Structure 1
Amino acid sequence: MAQQDSTGLQSLLEKQQDDMISNAVPTVRERKKTLLKLKRLLVDQEAALIEALVTDMRRPAFEAFSFEIALLLNEIDYVCRSLTKWMRSERSIHSKFGYIETIRKKRSPFGSVLIISPWNYPLQLALMPAISAIAAGNRCVIKPSEYAPATSKLLQRVISQTFSPEVLTVVPGDVQTAKQLISRPFNLIFFTGSQETGKAVSQQAAKQLIPVITELGGKNPCILDETGYSPEAIREIVWGKFLNAGQTCIAPDTLFVHESIYAKTLSEIAAVLLSFYGDHAKESKDYGRICNRAHFEKLLHVLTQGKIRFGGDYNAEELFIAPTVLTDIPSESPIWHDEIFGPILPVIPYANLESLLHQQVIQRDALVAYIFSKHKPCIKLLENHMRSTTISINQVIQHGANPHVAFGGVGRSGHGSYHGKAGFQAFSYEKTAYNVYRYLTVPGKFPPYSDQNLHIVKKFRKWLL
């Protein structure tokens, strides 16, 4: 990045932080006004945004609207309805020996927030955290992914036409741009992407003591036991897996099927895929493409790690990989521990859920764990085993669109949650005003201390402190 660009980034950050200092923290009315401007932008630019998403990902227009624009509109509506309640300060009064204390708590914005978004949902994952940040009263800088150039370019243009850069701005660029931004003294960084890059971002931020929220994905297991099998369940799983050509952080990564229903599950998966995308998925208008060449090459290697039971076709020129089902995975295959993030579904039989969990082939801190079952002990067993922030029962993906459900990871799948109230809290911190009214002087509080005073403190500590 040129020195002039670097200077411009520093100037932008200083303007945002100076604006936070010189102006009062945005009121609830001002925050709602900003959010409603963003909503109007999404509505007015709907056609252009869908066109950009289709250009970048060959994504069906239905998916582009439903899982990018509609989610953002619903989040804004929910936040605007709830924001007044979330912003109310909490006040309490406590009476103790010799004094009365009042405690008043409120949420305060961090300041200037950097949002680094990925390529798989380039609009939603850029603006969803921005909605939370704005609701909490922050200023925002968004660094969109260079692997979604059409969406990135459009987002920069429409944001700059709608918002002052001191409030919300988009800074496009490559990995060098991201490194330059991370080196700046932002007050908070929000990153969505791979574990490897997330570690690098966190390490750089730690040098400046900047807090970081990371959303890193993971190998989301999907358990299908003999009580949970139905054609409807298979359709749900297949839809969630191959949505956006498998490039969804909360997609089922690997399907573990009870051995008693293994054969018919494979048969039903094939039937559902044919009903979704036809005999030639490459010709289906409802099936997307892999976003970039590097990820395409990685997925080609995954295709060699098991027996192809369905699909397996690909076209390098179009970055197309057919919906694929793999079985008979060798024990030494990397697919057991590496996130797939593509349209390849390993289907693995198991005899007993407890034994399966003890084999340690399931990532306990995955972003989400799915189970299709009517057997409550099995559901409870998975809940107790997983460290994931979400255990989803008899559905996939849907929880990610619900603003009442905190969206985030733990351990290898990330740190921190957002969406709805969780997002408002993640992008703010608790500020406390503590006031004491004394009406008695407490003897022995100040040095020199005595053994008698220590005895008094031990005896009456509940009332003194």
Structure 2
Amino acid sequence: MTSVADELRTTYNSGHTRPLTWRKHQLEQMVKMLEENESAFLDALAVDLGKPRVEGFITDIAFVTSEVKSMIKNLKKWNKPERVSTPIVAMPGKSRLIPEPVGVVLVIAPWNYPIHLLLVPVAGAIAAGNAVVMKPSEVSVSTSALLAKLVPKYLDSSAIALVEGGVPETTDLLEQHFDHIFYTGNGTVGRIVMAAAVKNLTPVTLELGGKSPVIVDASANLRVAARRVAWGKWLNAGQTCIAPDYVMVDASVRGGFVDELGKAITEFFGSDPKESESYGRIVSPNHFARVSALMEGGTAAIGGETDSATRYIAPTVLLDVDPNSQIMKEEIFGPLLPIVDVGSTDEAIAHINANPHPLALYVFTGEKRVAADVINRTTAGGVTVNGTIMHFSNPNLPFGGIGESGMGGYHGKSGVRLFQHMKPVLTRGTKMDPSVAYPPYTERKAKIFRKVL
């Protein structure tokens, strides 16, 4: 039976996806799909994640349309050959790098931002001139079904396919031959994806996760720090790969910081976040059970309430956290925020460096020296100083991890280049063909070589 990858490869090999006019039309159709079906998408996100409509619009609709529109605007410029200098030994000649698509791309998306984390890399692959197979998460079932219904109506099904399903369907896709695989999710599945890619020597981009730490220095503006940590942590009920996972706060300001966190939670979600239209829900009963169990690792100073019937877990701040508990070992991916006292920034840096490289790192400080120290002495996929999440929003900053948190980066121009081969081309002239370059190699030629090489 012909695989979906083979079917799309036939289209790709025909040259169908290479013209900029085709790429532009597909990107325009993607924007049109989101804008014309905005309400249906927001309904699906509400069913899957209890996602507030405003939050859903910002994170899964507006962000995507903005990114895609930027690709449309810059499509010609980003796909233009780049001239590079030519050394004297290659003269006469001109050198350039030609961006060419890699072929057929597979994009496997997660459930937490099921539109955004599928369509943004897909848009980059299309802008690069590739054929694409989309694999949305089966966990966000309503959004997956809606995408499966709409994608064939708006996009060119001869070059862009969507495959629904769970582990068996994903396993089948991974057995097929793709030219690039883009996966967003956890490290366990990331290793499976990478192992499958080895069979065909397929390049992979892995957007994973991990425990993204926050450092709050004694010089930080505690009110601003608390509000920004609260926003980043409880966005999407904590189900964000770069959400603050835990906070290391200078012991001298811990009390004030926790007080400000409480104020921020009340300001954002009211006295009872369960009734707030601005606060989401855990995606499934299994994830609810996992996250709820993690609460045993500390004492709830704020929140702690749960409701399995509605998959609600309150915005929760944990103190007196056992460093050996499960909550300090695995990525939380939920609305629990452990607070850990530290005696200095050096102690916080040492803790970060003793653990796998995080996908994101956040530092709040009033001193540039402290920020520079944290940036220069740690390794992370990305950093925001005096904020959370926001480095992800800049298309000029490639987003991605390092080590256990992933490999490869995308967004903006980087999200197009990721799915291209920059083909080096040297074109030589024929009017001049000096004999010094050819054998026999005389002493005179040797002297010339030593001067110019």
TM-score range, shorter chain: over 0.9
Q: How do residues 154-303 of structure 1 correspond to structure 2 at under 5 angstroms?
A: 154-303=146-295
- Structure 1 distance, partners of 2:448, 2:380, is 45
Equivalent position amino acid for 1:350 in 2: V
Counterpart contact for 1:113–1:139, Cα < 8 Å: yes
Q: Which secondary structure does the structure 2 equivalent of 1:356 belong to?
A: helix
Q: 1:424: how far off? A: 0.9
Select which of 323, 330, 347 maps to 1:338: 330
Q: Which amino acid aligns with 1:460?
A: F
Q: For residue 68 of structure 1, what is the amino acid of its counterpart?
A: D
Does residue 123 of structure 2 align to residue 134 of structure 1? Answer: no
Matched, 1:120 2:112: yes
Q: Which residue identity does 1:321 align to in structure 2?
A: I
Q: 8 Å contact 1:254–1:345 — kept in the other structure?
A: yes
SS of residue in 1 equivalent to 2:205: strand
Q: What's 1:4 paired with?
A: none
Return the offset for 1:353: 0.6
2:373 to 381, 385, 403: 381
Q: Distance in 2 between matches of 1:92 and 1:145?
A: 42
CA distances 1:201-239 after superposition (whole Å, capped 9, x unpaired): 001111211111010012111111122123222111101
Contact 1:221 1:362 in 2 (8 A): no
Contact 2:218 2:250 in 1 (8 A): yes
TM-aligned CA deviation for residue 294 of structure 1:
2.2
Give a deviation string over 1:85-105, Cα, whole Å, max 9, x none: 111112346363584122121
Compared with structure 1, are the counterparts of its residues 458 and 237 closer, same or farther at alpha carbon in structure 2 (3 Å cutoff)? farther
- Partner SS, residue 264 of structure 1: helix
CA distance in structure 2 between the aligned counterparts of 1:181 and 1:417, rounded to whole angstroms: 23
2:310 paired residue number = 318
Q: Match of 1:3? A: none
Counterpart position of 1:460:
449
Cα distance in 2 for partners of 1:462, 1:365 equals 47
* SS at structure 2 position matched to 1:18: helix
2:76 equivalent in structure 1: 84
When the two structures are superposed, what TM-score results if normalisation uses the length of structure 1?
0.92
Change (3 A) 1:362 1:128: farther
| Larger displacement relative to structure 2 (233-242 or 291-300) | 291-300
Distance 1:382 1:443, change over 3 A: closer
Match of 1:355 in 2: 347
Are 1:436 and 2:425 matched, yes or no? Answer: no
TM-score for both structures, normalised by structure 2: 0.95
C-alpha distance in 1 between matches for 2:48 and 2:450: 65
Report if aligned partners of 1:224, 1:256 keep a CA contact under 8 Å in 2: yes
Kindly indicate whether the alpha-carbon contact (under 8 Å) linking 1:111 and 1:138 is maintained by their aligned counterparts in 2.
yes
Give me the whole-angstrom Cα distance separating, in 2, the residues matched to 1:380 and 1:57. 37
Size of the alignment, in residue pairs? 451
Which ranges of structure 1 fall in alignment gaps of 5 or more residues? 1-6
Letter in structure 1 aligned against 2:435 = T
Deviations 1:249-300 (A, max 9, x none): 1111111111121111111111221222223222222211111222222212
Give the one of 404, 411, 415 matched to 2:403: 411
CA-to-partner distance for each residue in 1:26-60, whole Å, 9 max, x for gaps? Answer: 22232112101111111100010100110111110
Measured in 2, the distance between the counterparts of 1:457 and 1:335 equals 68
Matched residue SS, 1:303: helix
Shift of 1:400: 1.4
Q: 2:64–2:120: 8 Å Cα contact kept in structure 1?
A: yes
Post-superposition offset of 1:188:
0.7
RMSD: 2.0
Check conservation: 1:364, 1:388, Cα contact below 8 A. no
Q: How far off its partner does 1:459 sit?
A: 7.1
Give the counterpart of 2:5 among 2, 10, 13: 13
Kept in 2, the 8 Å contact 1:367–1:390? The answer is yes
Go from structure 1 to structure 2 and tell me whether the alpha carbon gap of 1:349 and 1:101 turns closer, same or farther (over 3 Å shift): same
What one-letter code is carried by the residue in structure 2 that aligns with 1:440? P
Q: Which moved more, 1:188-197 or 1:381-390?
A: 381-390
The Cα shift of 1:22 comes to: 1.5
Distance between the aligned counterparts of 1:418 and 1:444, measured in 2?
45
2:394 maps to which residue?
402
1:347, distance to aligned residue in structure 2 (A) = 0.9
Q: Percent identity?
A: 34
- Deviation per residue, 1:404-425 (Å, 9 max, x gap): 2211111111000011011011
Contact kept in structure 1, 2:316 and 2:337, CA below 8 Å = yes
Match of 2:40 among 21, 44, 48: 48
Deviates more, 1:329-338 or 1:288-297: 329-338
